[in-house]
Amino acid sequence: MIDVCDSKYCTALETAAGGRLYNVVVDTEVTSKLLLQRGQLQTRTTIIPLNKITGHIIDRKTVSLAQEIGGGPENVQLALDLVSYDQRLKPAMAWVFGGTLVCRDLDTARRVTFHPRVRRRAVTLDGDVFDPAGTLSGGARAQGGSVLMQLQELKQLEAELREVEQQLSACTAELNSLQQLADKHVALQQKLEVSRHELGVAQARVAATAHAQLHAEIHALKQKVEQLSAAVERDKVTQNETAARAKELEAKVKDIKGHREREFKKAEEALKKAKKDAENHSTSWKKREQEFETLKLEVRELEQAVATSTQQLEETNEASKALQENLTAAKNEHANALETVREIQAKIKQQKAEIASRSGDIAKLSQKKEKLHKNNNELELKIKELDYKIKELQTEATECEKKIKSLETENPWILSERQYFGAAGGLYDFAARQVGVAGQRLQQLQERRDKLARGLNARAHTLLGKEEEQYQDVMRKKKIVEADRKKLVQVMAELDEKKKLTLVAACEQVNRDFGSIFSTLLSGAQARLTPPPGLSVLDGLEVKVGFNGQWKESLGELSGGQRSLVALSLVLAMLLFKPAPLYILDEVDAALDLSHTQNIGHMLKEHFKHSQFIIVSLKDGMFNNANVLFRTKFVDGMSTVQRTVNTHR
């Protein structure tokens, strides 16, 4: 609620506030009243309502004068100026700190407090208090340190904890970012593997594509071209040889006319054969030449296809190299990310250890604070008890003084004989005579004398006979009253026994009906009434509910609908003990679902066979169990009632 501007003022401010430091601040007196009535406060607590509390603040002129007397603002400060708070709490802060000055040392506090133009309460930094009434409080303080100091340390630790939590959040965010990078790297790695696989598939496909086949076919065609070229050369040689042979034969024909007839046919046949072979070779050569040209065109097309495939292969290799470079960069980035993650995890682990250590310190400080708060409350209680005793002693002293004055007035000889009071061996040796006992004895004798004087009647002996007769009559009436009393006591004992037996029997019957009704309303559930441990039925009963043999510890473990069914079952079980002819139930199924509503109708038919029910309900599950149904509705702006006999029962 407050923050101390400087920790060196903690002791002074705690002393200045005193017990008010632990008061509870609320907005209005209504809240404070409710807190006292229903807050279940374990200790005596003072509550400050902001709308009623008024505090006196030392005016600035007096504060300035005190600072001049004390040697400057660094030596004298208004306690209210040393704390920061929400402005809504200003009335409470003024009531606690507004009337106290905080001084640097004892001398400054003494000069400021007792200065005739200041006359204000002052507290030193060590916790010594100067009051203008003349009192001085100080000395050794309780062990454990200042509560405000511990609160400041606790707030500082909480601030450090928040800072560490923020750092942890930042580290977590950075870790998430790195995790995203790692995921991205994994995705790139997977993409690279896919690309590698695609490259292998592409290479396999290239090997199996038309390009490879064309390349093989080109090689085969080149070999075939070479073979055809060799055949053409051989045909040319054969043609030349045939032409030479023909010329030789013609020469022989011309030179040797004798063999004309014999060799003519042979030569003619050989010539025809040679010409035919020449024509065949010429035709074959032309055909092979055409095939050669066709093959040359196919080779050019295949070479172009090979060039295109080679270019595609080079592009694929370049893409593979780029992917390989990306893979290398991603691996490096992944390694750096892993290293960063390890560093951040180490930092997070270290910060978690620090947080755990700080949390332990905070828990210890909180326990210490609770202990100090408890000790402070006990000390406040002791102080109040001592104040009460002091007031009692002051009251007794005042009464004794009044009594002494009264005795002196009533007995003038006391003034003249006072000098001999208490003298040993004298007439007024109070120690030897036990004055206290004698005074009590004197008072008793005086009271007895006054009593006897008031009750003394001179005609008492004449009334003795009449009084004796009255005494005898009273004694006779006393005996009658005692006899009547004895009979009444006996009758009361018999009635108590009958009441006990009747109550036990009623409890047993209600318990049976309670369990039966609840089991009907909620399938698989059991309920019973049992006395508390160590007590009997006469002392009270507890409601126990179980499901499938497992009994619940308290009704707080049940849902709202289950508790409603328990209450309804108990009420109906008590009504069933002495059934009435007619019951009226108003929307008892409002908080229940349809199955429970149907169970209520079934239960009423089963357990209340000799009673009639008028039930107000809005659910069909209850309508289905009714003998007669009355429906209300608006017709032409008027309320009408429609009676329907249930024929589906």
Which domain-ending residue is among 578, 601, 618? 578
Using pLDDT thresholds of 50, 70 and 90, give the confidence band for residue 312.
low
Residue 242 has pLDDT above 70, yes or no: no
Query: Domain for residue 171, yes or no?
Result: no
Query: Domain for residue 162, yes or no?
Result: no
CATH code (residue 23)? 3.30.70.1620
Instruction: Tell me, yes or no, whether 45 and 76 share the same domain.
Output: yes
Instruction: Tell me, yes or no, whether 187 and 249 share the same domain.
Output: yes
CATH code (residue 341)? 1.10.287
CA distance 139 to 141: 6
DSSP 53: -
Give the number of other CB atoms < 10 A from CB of residue 427: 9
Residue 187 has pLDDT above 60, yes or no: yes
Burial class (CB within 10 angstroms; exposed 0-12, middle 13-18, buried 19+) of 470:
exposed
Query: Domain for residue 155, yes or no?
Result: no
Looking at residue 396, what is its pLDDT? 84
**517 token code pair:** 């009704």
Structural domains of the chain, count: 5
The DSSP bridge partners found for residue 527 are: 545
Using pLDDT thresholds of 50, 70 and 90, give the confidence band for residue 205.
low
Q: Are the CB atoms for 529 and 541 separated by under 8 Å?
A: yes
Instruction: Tell me, yes or no, whether 245 and 372 share the same domain.
Output: yes
Q: Which amino acid is at 373?
A: H
Residue 490 has pLDDT above 90, yes or no: yes
Instruction: Tell me, yes or no, whether 590 and 572 share the same domain.
Output: no
Looking at residue 495, what is its pLDDT? 92
Instruction: Tell me, yes or no, whether 93 and 201 share the same domain.
Output: no
Looking at residue 364, what is its pLDDT? 80
Q: Are the CB atoms for 8 and 125 separated by under 8 Å?
A: yes
Q: What is the mean pLDDT of the chain?
A: 78
Q: Are the CB atoms for 55 and 98 separated by under 8 Å?
A: yes
Q: Can you list the alpha helix ranges (DSSP code H) found in 56-100?
A: 60-70, 90-97
Instruction: Tell me, yes or no, whether 123 and 194 share the same domain.
Output: no
**43 token code pair:** 């200790």
For residue 136, the enclosing domain spans 2-141
27-36, 137-146, 348-357: which range is least confident on average?
A: 137-146
Instruction: Tell me, yes or no, whether 473 and 519 share the same domain.
Output: yes
CB under 8 Å to 82, separation ≥6 — which residues? 4, 5, 6, 9, 12, 13, 97, 102
Pairing between β-strand 542-547 and β-strand 550-551 as defined by DSSP bridges: antiparallel
Pairing between β-strand 121-124 and β-strand 100-103 as defined by DSSP bridges: parallel
Query: Domain for residue 150, yes or no?
Result: no
Using pLDDT thresholds of 50, 70 and 90, give the confidence band for residue 426.
low
Residue 509 has pLDDT above 70, yes or no: yes
Residue 308 has pLDDT above 90, yes or no: no
Query: Domain for residue 173, yes or no?
Result: no
Query: Domain for residue 151, yes or no?
Result: no
Instruction: Tell me, yes or no, whether 351 and 320 share the same domain.
Output: yes
215-218 contacts, C-beta under 8 A, 24 or more apart: 215/302, 215/306, 217/302, 218/298, 218/299, 218/302, 218/303, 218/306
Secondary structure of residue 551 in the 3-state scheme = strand
Which domain-ending residue is among 112, 141, 170? 141
pTM above 0.75, yes or no: no
Query: Domain for residue 378, yes or no?
Result: yes
Instruction: Tell me, yes or no, whether 570 and 635 share the same domain.
Output: no
CA distance 251 to 499: 170
In 141-271, the DSSP E strands lie at none
Instruction: Tell me, yes or no, whether 227 and 362 share the same domain.
Output: yes
Looking at residue 212, what is its pLDDT? 58
Looking at residue 489, what is its pLDDT? 93
Strand order in the sheet with 525-530: 525-530, 542-547, 550-551
Using pLDDT thresholds of 50, 70 and 90, give the confidence band for residue 479.
very high
Query: Domain for residue 101, yes or no?
Result: yes
CATH code (residue 644)? 3.40.50.300
Q: Which of 141-145, 464-468, 565-569 is modeled with the greatest confidence?
A: 565-569
Instruction: Tell me, yes or no, whether 345 and 202 share the same domain.
Output: yes
Which domain-ending residue is among 347, 364, 393? 393
Q: What are the CA-CA distances from residue 107 to residues 9, 12, 131, 375, 639 (Å)?
A: 17, 15, 14, 31, 91
Secondary structure of residue 634 in the 3-state scheme = strand
Residue 449 has pLDDT above 60, yes or no: yes
Q: Are the CB atoms for 109 and 128 separated by under 8 Å?
A: yes
Instruction: Tell me, yes or no, whether 477 and 564 share the same domain.
Output: yes
